Amino acid sequence: MKTIQITMDEKLLANLDADDETKRDGRSAVLRRAAADYLSRRRRAGIAKAYREAYGGGKGIVREFEDWAKEGTWPDE
């Protein structure tokens, strides 16, 4: 692990230090989890945005394949 230095508002730091999880696990562990959660949410939001852009509202891949239904034929029953 790498040691870093951050600046934090005193009230926020006091609230963090008063938290039971911080008291149990320590500031570093709580801040590591918070950073990991933040990055995970950003990644999921990016993936969701990419899906919306690709598949949503008749844009992207939807438009690319819209004429394929006309090319198919159904067997006679």
Residue pLDDT, tens place only, 33-42: 999 999 999 9
The whole-model pTM stands at 0.66
- Across 35-39, 54-58, 70-74, which has the greatest mean pLDDT? 35-39
Q: What percent of the chain has pLDDT above 70?
A: 84
CA–CA gap between residue 52 and residue 62 (Å, rounded) = 11
Q: Is residue 10 a contact partner of residue 18, using CB atoms and an 8 Å limit? A: no
End-to-end CA distance of the chain: 68
Q: CB neighbours of 19 closer than 8 A, spacing ≥ 6? A: 30
Give, for 37, the enclosing helix (H) or strand (E): helix 27-55
Phi and psi at 6, nearest 5°, equal -130, 160
